[in-house]
Structure 1
Amino acid sequence: MGTIESALLTTDRPSIYCRYVDDILVRVKNLQELQNLCQRFINATGLNFTYEESSNRRLPFLDILVTARNSGFKTTVFTKPTSQGLCLNGDNECPKRYLTSAFSAYKRTMNWRELPKF
């Protein structure tokens, strides 16, 4: 994907373009520019690309809610409304730092009474 991005984004590069695996956060001037960019990727790769527009200047990206402000962006933890608050089992083969990080994030963002089951 990096090679394709390098070739496609040499001209008309969006002011913000961030990708993590198969999720892309992009800032464009208008819907037409977004649709054109999406079509360029479809033509170059044959893959299906979909997009989601921001609502009230807010857009969830991965587990982050990105809110556009006049002077930049504000980010907060985003939890889907369907989330049951479950996490990885702490006894699995996942590195200990992931468990510690997940627990710390929940501690900072949730009420202790709503703490998920580990």
Structure 2
Amino acid sequence: MPRGITKDMLLTCTTEAPFKCPQGKMYVQIDGVAMGSPLGVFCARGFMSFVENEVLSPLKEKPHLYLRYVDDIFVCVENVHMLEELRAKLQVCSGLQFTLELNVSNKILFLYVLVDATSDSFTTNIYCNPTDAGKCMNGLGECSQSYKKGVIRANVRGAVYVCSSWHMFHSELKY
């Protein structure tokens, strides 16, 4: 497919996506990728991969660990100076603003995961915000069975992927 046609199609799919506000009025996305567009994650991954390549490739001293989910980055570096330098380079290359969260007592949150490095290895567990009331959908409520099963499936899958020990996994299932 010719490059020009591909570009026009991508622009149409990402910027001309109509959406309805809660008051019922229709709007059209005019800048960036429409929120919730299936192409949004694809475009973000491509953009961040380009930025990472530009920033990380020339580094003499690479991070010990570098993980990313869309634009959230988990990185282990030698010291805070290296972290600040990496953040500055990412911001210059991407035009985005990145915030830093440092570990406290060798523990840090990444998305909804509590990463604990107080021992010789990392342990991970699902993190619940202190404001979380622990409430979930009522199983007897007016909602389709497929949605109810999906809620259970998502919570169990989260526990399987995140909890690094049988004890943590069991506690999460019990919760």
Larger Rg: 2
The alpha-carbon distance between structure 1 residues 88 and 36, as it changes in their structure 2 partners (threshold 3 A), is farther
TM-score between both structures, scaled by the size of structure 1: 0.76
**Counterpart in 1 of 2:50?**
3
Return the alpha-carbon distance in structure 1 between the equivalents of residues 81 and 112 of structure 2: 27
The alpha-carbon distance between structure 1 residues 95 and 34, as it changes in their structure 2 partners (threshold 3 A), is farther
**Counterpart in 1 of 2:96?**
47
Greater share of helix: 2
RMSD over aligned Cα, in angstroms? 2.9
> 1:21 Cα deviation (Å)?
1.6
Return the alpha-carbon distance in structure 1 between the equivalents of residues 150 and 100 of structure 2: 33
> 1:101 Cα deviation (Å)?
3.4
The alpha-carbon distance between structure 1 residues 111 and 19, as it changes in their structure 2 partners (threshold 3 A), is closer
1:56 aligns with 2:105: yes
Does the aligned pair in 2 maintain the 1:88–1:99 contact within 8 Å? Answer: no
**Greater RCO, CA 8 A, separation 6+:** 1
Long gaps (5+) in structure 1 = none
Greater share of strand: 1
**Counterpart in 1 of 2:3?**
none
> 1:83 Cα deviation (Å)?
1.2
Long gaps (5+) in structure 2 = 1-47, 160-168
Q: How does 1:106-117 map to 2 (within 5 A)?
A: 108-110=170-172
Letter in 2 for 1:66: V
Percent of aligned pairs sharing the same letter: 32
TM-score between both structures, scaled by the size of structure 2: 0.54
The alpha-carbon distance between structure 1 residues 79 and 110, as it changes in their structure 2 partners (threshold 3 A), is same
